[in-house]
Amino acid sequence: MSRILIRDGDGIPLVGAVEVAERFHARLRGLLGRASLPDGAGMLLRPCRSIHMWFMRFPIDAAFLDADLRVLRVVRHLRPWRIAVAPRGTRCVLETAAGGLAAVEPGRQLALE
């Protein structure tokens, strides 16, 4: 497990336990089959350009990030059976339980530790 930090400012921890999904099957499965995601936990899908919520059981927050982990767009409370299309330049997506990215805005620099 890794951590995601908000890098600008003083390196405030944003997500304490991040599962990184880099292989095809891990990205394909994502959070499917889970009943929930604990507070402070998340999944980083890379590479990834868009996400869907088919068959999901709970809403999530999603941050679309460029190759340097700079936030391009944040979608909050994305409900099951919805799609979120990524903006141009997206290379990965950070997913947390709904409300987990409340402090994140476009332009913020994140870091994977």
pLDDT, block means (10 residues), the chain with 113 residues: 60 81 76 78 90 90 96 96 94 94 92 85
> What is the model's pLDDT at position 103?
87
Sheet holding 71-78, edge to edge: 71-78, 60-65, 92-97, 41-45, 12-21, 2-6, 110-112
pLDDT at 24: 75
| pLDDT for res 2 | 62
pLDDT of residue 7: 60
The residue segments making up the domain with residue 25 are 2-112
15 φ/ψ angles, rounded to the nearest 5 degrees: -130, 120
Give the span between the Cα atoms of 47 and 27, in whole angstroms.
8
- CATH, residue 71: 2.60.120.1140
Number of domains in the chain: 1
Tell me, what's the pLDDT at 17? 83
- Alpha helices (H) along 3-105: 24-29
